[in-house]
Structure 1
Amino acid sequence: MIKLTNVSKSFQTKKGTIPAIDDVSLEVQPGEIFGVIGYSGAGKSTLIRCVNLLESPTTGSVIINGRDVTNVSAEELLKVRRKIGMIFQGFNLLKTATVYDNIAIPLKLTDVDKKEIDKRVQKYLQIVGLEDKHDAYPGQLSGGQKQRVAIARALAQEPEILLSDEATSALDPETTESILELLLKINEELGITIMLITHEMNVIQKICDRVAVMEKGKIIEQGKTVDIYARPSHPTTKRFVNSTYHKELPPHVLQDLIQTGPVVRLTFVGESSSKPVLASVSAKFPVSPNILAGGIIALKQETIGTLVVHLHGDKEETIKAISYLEEQGVKVEGVEVTHV
């Protein structure tokens, strides 16, 4: 569906060449929701704008449905873009036009029949839950309603791909949740492939099948969302994942605990989440597990549980206990004392 191969993009400024994305390769499969996450300045927005050629890559190829679109004519590019909808953080609605007209005007510009326009506007307003707002103006709507209008406008073009550029970052948590539920509905019921960028890990957690993590213009890690959550390898990815758990312990508490045994973070996913493995530790070894913190993360198709545990006991026995936990499919990671 979408394949980026060795894509780089640089901008020329008075101070010289500024690289925005550097040798990025990724694939988005038909029907999935693919997320790209990174901190501010990571290159996410430039990357997603390369997909529909709002930004032309400096090098590399962008392949949509098997076709390299980086060298097509302006006419062919226009046809490609009509199959790619896009929603933005700022909504981009016409303030002086009604909700109906905000959705209808782009269709009029592409010579869609008037009856077809009316049919599509009504259909997609119903899908986004705003069928009673067709005569309202943007100034009369909440932020979440404005974003729903923007989504309906993108859907009215009946695209195969929907790009989301930080579409929820300006919304409050409750409204964000409702928009994410809507994107899930669109993906599942209409079969539209979604590629989104965000700096919020809860967005990835809620709806994404796979994720790529960006830093300084590069993809530093990518894979299934459940795998990234369960076994992040890059320090930046670990920071994103840990931000969803909120289980940092005060350094002085850790300092006292590690005198009598290691403090470890246990991650349970799949079969390991249904086994009473922690209860078995004290039965098999002279080690006393003391649970310090815990939480459950519900991903789109999987649930991951984590516990921060102090293993009180002899060093040799706690090593055996950790090996046993790993044999049972539990990921074990030491929690180190960080001095501020």
Structure 2
Amino acid sequence: MIELKNVTKKFESKKKGHAILALKNVNLTVNQGEIFGVIGYSGAGKSTLVRCVNFLEKPSSGEVIVNGQTLGKLTNDQLRQARQNIGMIFQGFNLLKTANVYDNIAIPLKLTGIPASEIKARVEKYLNIVGLSDKKYVFPNQLSGGQKQRVAIARALSHEPDILLSDEATSALDPETTDSILNLLLKINREFGITILLITHEMHVIQKICDRVAVMENGEIIEQGNVIDVYSDPQTTTTERFVSSIFPSDIPNEIIEELAQRGPIIQLTFVGESADQPALSMLAKKFDIHSNILSGNIVQLKDRPFGKLTAHIQGTKAETDKALHYLIEQGVKVSEVKVNG
């Protein structure tokens, strides 16, 4: 559906002979019908990447293949046609302030030559899908941020694309509105089978609706995979920081040092069914140990629960070893917490 092969993007600097590498040999595949998230901190290259997918930014080298077409080989007319199958929504909504909601959706359709009768049907259909049928003749300045984004989504869907690109579409919204927009994107993906590629700096966005994720840093993809795999076993420091943002466990070193003298401090990672099991209480019944929960949280990763728990285990080495082995047998990932620094 979407494939980036060794994509590099250079921006020429004002300093002669100096170029800024926004993307460095990026390789990425987004499968048909999935929701793929790209996450990274500011300056990681996320926006440049997503703009290369529809050639709003043309790569300096490499290939972008969408629906089997290599965009760099298309004529201008062919590229315009290909872009009609790629919808895009932005953080800033990009609505026409002097046009009402209906016209904000209808005008772009007119420009692509859609008949007037078809335009009316599409506008009404997609306004109904985003829940704004009653706002047809309202102007953007009369809408909330979430409503403006819904109009932008309806406008993108009205071209009936195969792919929807989201460039930080929820970053300007409050948490409750963000969740409503994410639920809408999930509904669109499930009901219409539209492939969604989104970029964000918010781990909450990834965990709520994405099937797979790529982590970007300094113009490169440093890690990618199924969301559940990346969450449960991050391979890079940057990914660990993102995951830690939803599982805060800042236990002071002094406490770790003191408790570690009486038994191991362990971090337990639960995925799927294991997240619903009373693991620590079972340990106390099966083995001669005592446990104390220091921190923990369970979140929902799209359709699967995922949790992390930090606990202190006390008992003889033989008993604690047997207890930890039991946890592993139950599908719980176990790692020991060490003193930071």
1:213 has 2:252 as partner = no
Are 2:291 and 2:314, in contact at CA under 8 Å, matched by a contact in 1?
yes
Q: Residue deviations 1:56-76, cap 9 Å, x none? A: 111111111122112211111
Aligned partner of 2:115 in structure 1 is 113
Greater Cα shift, 147-156 or 252-261: 252-261
SS in 2 for 1:42: coil
Aligned partner of 2:340 in structure 1 is 338
- AA in 2 matched with 1:324: Y
Are 2:275 and 2:298, in contact at CA under 8 Å, matched by a contact in 1?
no
Q: TM-score, normalised by structure 1?
A: 0.95
Pick from 114, 121, 124: which aligns with 1:122? 124
Greater Cα shift, 283-292 or 95-104: 283-292
1:225 has 2:220 as partner = no
Greater Cα shift, 315-324 or 184-193: 315-324
CA distance in 1 between counterparts of 2:98 and 2:259 reads 63
CA distance in 2 between counterparts of 1:294 and 1:99 reads 45
- List runs of 5+ in structure 1 lacking aligned partners: none
Compute the displacement of 1:299 (Å).
Answer: 1.0
Compute the displacement of 1:268 (Å).
Answer: 1.0
In structure 2, relative to structure 1, the CA distance for the partners of 1:316 and 1:60 (3 Å cut) is: farther
CA distance in 2 between counterparts of 1:227 and 1:146 reads 35
Pick from 259, 262, 281: which aligns with 1:260? 262
Aligned partner of 1:43 in structure 2 is 45
SS in 1 for 2:191: helix
Aligned residues: 339
Q: TM-score, normalised by structure 2?
A: 0.95
Aligned partner of 1:154 in structure 2 is 156
Aligned alpha-carbon RMSD (Å):
1.6
- AA in 1 matched with 2:188: I
CA distance in 2 between counterparts of 1:323 and 1:231 reads 19
Compute the displacement of 1:270 (Å).
Answer: 3.0
SS in 2 for 1:4: strand
CA distance in 1 between counterparts of 2:270 and 2:80 reads 47
Are 2:290 and 2:315, in contact at CA under 8 Å, matched by a contact in 1?
yes
Aligned partner of 2:205 in structure 1 is 203
Runs of 4+ in structure 1 over 6 Å off: none
Are 2:38 and 2:214, in contact at CA under 8 Å, matched by a contact in 1?
yes
SS in 2 for 1:291: strand
Compute the displacement of 1:336 (Å).
Answer: 2.5
Q: Residue deviations 1:108-152, cap 9 Å, x none? A: 111110111111111111111111111111111111111111111
SS in 2 for 1:136: coil
Compute the displacement of 1:249 (Å).
Answer: 2.0
Pick from 73, 92, 95: which aligns with 2:94? 92
CA distance in 1 between counterparts of 2:169 and 2:232 reads 26
Aligned partner of 1:179 in structure 2 is 181
In structure 2, relative to structure 1, the CA distance for the partners of 1:320 and 1:23 (3 Å cut) is: farther
Greater Cα shift, 140-149 or 5-14: 5-14
Greater Cα shift, 48-57 or 65-74: 65-74
Q: Residue deviations 1:137-174, cap 9 Å, x none? A: 11111111111111111011110100000000000001
Compute the displacement of 1:210 (Å).
Answer: 0.6
Aligned partner of 1:192 in structure 2 is 194
Compute the displacement of 1:335 (Å).
Answer: 2.1
Identical positions, percent: 62
